[in-house]
Amino acid sequence: MRKVRTVLFVPRVLSVLVLMVLVGCAGEPQSWTALKKQLPGLESDQREIAIEKFIAAKGGTPIVENQTRLVFFARDVNGATPRVVGDFNAWAVRPGAGQAAPPVYDAAIGQMTRIDGTSWSYLEGTSYTNARAEYVFFFDQEATADPLNPRTVQAYAGPRSEIRMPFWVANPEVDDEATVAAGELIAETVMSQALGGPRRVWFYLPPGYPSTALGAGATATDTLYPVVYVLDGANYVEKMDVPRVLDRLIARKAIPPVIAVFSEPGDRQEEYTRNPKWRTFISSELVPQVDKRFRTFPAPDHRIILGSSLAAYGAVDLAVEFPAVFGLCAALAPPEQTASVIANQPRARAAAVSIRFFVLGGVYDAMIDGARRLRTTLDGVNAPVTYLEVAEGHNTNTFRNHLDDAIKALLPQ
């Protein structure tokens, strides 16, 4: 009987194919430096193809090399080359000429370098190994997300592209879209006698909350919940989807079940800067209404007042003005003048000692000195403070990402 020899031929064919693939892969540039050296030896159309293949092989832009190096690529749009501006280059803002001079916007920052013989340009930059940064392509007066970056996030000004460096630690409560038990969100318009008009307010009740009001059958043994009062409520509810973040944090037992009250301001600049009418609305109207209506733990050490950016100033002001109402305060990316609320007022310095603070600062935040000064001022008056500095910028995603850090620091399990 004749022996069949094809069983030896198939593995040989596979071996040859594997070898060809390996040789082909070995010939492809594995770094931007290698690609730059290769491009001058190629025809113009081949350069375009080589750049496209390189970006595709890396999974999009920017290319991250050696854990800290960033390489951005952009193709001309209608003959225009964008600039790249973001957290990694301070959004094209540089310090003023003198110590007291204001920052200066520099249109030269973020300009890209043309790749000869192509419609492509590139920009090199650096970032911390554990950073999460945001950026946009800037065409004259129009900002757009990077079409080659698969990660896009929403910000106050619109969509931005996101960079997650190799040692960035992702947050499951933000990234994970698995279904968990959902709390109840109640949107209402609350009339304020102090403000002389209505204010939008959202009430978040955690999963398992027994009812939307304290019923006749309630007893002293019923569960009581701490309350987080969040300023700039519309941003946290409508843009940042914080109620769903709270759902996931509670489901993971990262934080205890909480009631959250999201309050919307009228004029931020007016109301968050020590406005007596707004202070009265929050402390003497809204808090008593919440305590009467919901199953709250009505004590200052179970009430958090939380604000970000300018609202952090308002949160600190409310806490030191009413320490018998708010015994817990979270200031996320506070502006520089926030520390003066405590430093310039003997009454506030005395009150701060009885309040627990959480302060968040972003390394890529132009307002980072605000967080650092507030932390130093609180230390100086012996106020208990937890300080966290992260390699991120001043944006909604930073605030949302570290909401759990604030609550865990102020309401330990």
Whether residue 398 is found in the same domain as residue 250: yes
Chain segment 73-84, per-residue pLDDT in tens: 999 998 899 999
Give residue 140's pLDDT band: very low, low, confident or very high (50, 70, 90). Answer: confident
Shared domain check, 256 and 273: yes
Q: Which two tokens stand for residue 89?
A: 């280059």
Domain of residue 312, residue span: 174-214+223-410
Does one domain contain both 161 and 179? no
pLDDT digits (tens, 9 = 90+) for 187-221: 999 999 999 999 999 999 999 998 544 444 444 45
Q: Are residues 113 and 182 in the same domain?
A: no
- Give residue 296's pLDDT band: very low, low, confident or very high (50, 70, 90): very high
Whether 229 and 337 share a structural domain? yes
Q: Is the pLDDT of residue 99 over 70?
A: no
Scanning 180-239, the segments in alpha helix (DSSP H) are: 233-234
pLDDT score, position 178: 81
Query: Domain check: are 80 and 145 in the same one?
Result: yes
Parallel, antiparallel, or unpaired: how do β-strands 227-231 and 197-205 relate?
unpaired
133: tokens are 């940064």
pLDDT tier, 98 (very low <50, low <70, confident <90, very high otherwise): low
Give yes or no: residues 180 and 307 share one domain: yes
| 71 belongs to a structural domain | yes
| Residue 250 one-letter amino acid | I
Q: Are residues 152 and 285 in the same domain?
A: no
Contact 359, 374 (CB under 8 A): yes
Which tokens is 206 given? 């955690």
Tokens of 71: 């390489």
Confidence of residue 173 (pLDDT cuts 50, 70, 90): confident
Q: What is the pLDDT of residue 156?
A: 82
Q: Region 220-227: what's the mean pLDDT?
A: 80
Residue 308 belongs to some domain of the structure: yes
Q: Answer yes or no: is pLDDT of 15 > 70.
A: no
Note the pTM of the prediction, 2 decimals: 0.88
> Quick one: pLDDT at residue 14?
41
CATH of the domain at 122: 2.60.40.10
Strand ranges (DSSP E) for 152-275?
Answer: 152-155, 158-164, 184-192, 197-205, 227-231, 259-263
Assess if residue 33 is contained within a domain. Answer: no
Helix (H, G, I), strand (E, B) or coil at 253: coil
Backbone angles phi, psi at 138, to 5 degrees: -115, 110
Can you tell me the mean pLDDT for 158-171?
94
Query: What share of the chain has pLDDT > 70, as a percent?
Result: 90
| Residue burial 316-355, b: 16+ Cβ < 10 Å; e: rest | bbbbbbbbebbbbbbbbbbbeebbebbbebeebbebbeeb
Could you tell me if 266 and 229 lie in one domain? yes
Q: At what angle do helices 242-251 and 403-410 cross, to 10 degrees?
A: 50
Determine, yes or no, domain membership for 178: yes
Are residues 198 and 150 part of one domain?
no
Residue 288 within a domain = yes
Residue 17 lies in a domain: no
DSSP 21-87: HHHHHHHS--SHHHHHHHGGGS-HHHHHHHHHHHHHHTTSSSEEETTTEEEEEEE-BTTBPPEEEEG
**Closest residue by Cα to residue 161 from 142, 143, 140, 139:** 143
What pLDDT is stored for residue 294 in this prediction?
96
Cα three-residue angle 297-300-302, rounded to 5 degrees: 45
Domain count, the chain: 2
> What pLDDT was estimated at residue 68?
95
Number of alpha carbons in the 13 Å side-chain half-sphere of residue 147: 5
Q: What is the CATH number of the domain that holds 297?
A: 3.40.50.1820
Asked whether residue 49 is domain-assigned, the answer is yes
Residue 262: the pLDDT is 98
Q: What would the mean pLDDT of 144-148 be, rounded to a whole number?
A: 96
Residue 327 has pLDDT above 90, yes or no: yes
Q: Is 11 part of a structural domain of the chain?
A: no
Do both 157 and 273 map to the same domain? Answer: no
pLDDT at 167 over 60: yes
Residues 388, 260 within the same domain: yes
The whole-number pLDDT of residue 85 equals 97
3 state DSSP class of 343: helix
